[in-house]
């Protein structure tokens, strides 16, 4: 159970653990992420799902086979975000006939960012607000997804390559 609590992005101790891991990996999270923009760390090809499919189809064809915990929802343009937590709030017996669009968090309820935003500022927002993933939008269209996991991966790669200078941004 202790390991389960350490997984960043889960609604347990993930935010504090993310910050602690980042500090452990880098020695200083602020210096390592100084000047690094979101586009260097985000997933530039996030799996986006249609708003009109059922939760059952979402789970069977997207979340389980692709190991997703969240996905941007599109209805032409970006319409919102759906997470495992959102799905779990609906009784499983209703998944077959409940559309994603009825359960998702509307775009107005979702924190979004741009590719140019500085990562350090967003990390603070993610930790303090308990946000696990942030859609990245440019000119009104989805261009990526930033997650706590992608930030950790970025830090781990930099540490493995001994890239502790900001000028070495990936």
- 54-94 pLDDT, tens digit each: 999 999 999 999 999 999 999 988 999 999 999 999 999 99
Rounded-to-integer distance, Cα 73 and Cα 62, Å: 12
For residue 145, count other CB atoms closer than 10 A to its CB. Answer: 21
Rounded-to-integer distance, Cα 126 and Cα 111, Å: 9
- 95-115 pLDDT, tens digit each: 999 999 999 999 999 999 999
Closest CA relative to residue 70, chosen from 100, 97, 115 = 100
Q: Which residues contact 22 (CB under 8 A, 6 or more apart)?
A: 29, 32, 123, 151, 152, 155
Report the number of distinct structural domains present in the chain.
1
Q: What is the CATH number of the domain that holds 38?
A: 3.10.580.10
- Per the structure, the complete domain to which residue 129 belongs is given by 2-168
């Amino acid at each position: 159970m202790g390991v389960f609590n350490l997984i960043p992005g889960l609604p347990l101790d993930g935010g504090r653990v993310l910050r602690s891991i980042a500090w452990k990996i880098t020695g200083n999270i602020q210096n390592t992420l100084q000047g690094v923009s979101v586009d260097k760390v985000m997933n530039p090809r996030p799996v986006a799902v249609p708003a009109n499919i059922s939760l059952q189809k979402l789970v069977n064809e997207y979340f389980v086979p692709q190991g997703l915990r969240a996905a941007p929802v599109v209805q032409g343009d970006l319409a919102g975000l759906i997470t495992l937590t959102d799905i779990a709030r609906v009784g499983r017996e209703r998944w077959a006939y409940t559309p994603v669009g009825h359960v998702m968090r509307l775009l107005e309820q979702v924190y979004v960012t741009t590719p140019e935003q500085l990562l350090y500022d967003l990390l603070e927002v993610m930790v303090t607000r308990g946000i696990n993933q942030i859609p990245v939008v440019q000119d009104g269209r989805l261009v990526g997804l930033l997650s706590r996991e992608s930030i950790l991966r970025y830090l781990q790669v930099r540490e493995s390559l001994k890239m502790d200078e900001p000028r070495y941004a990936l």
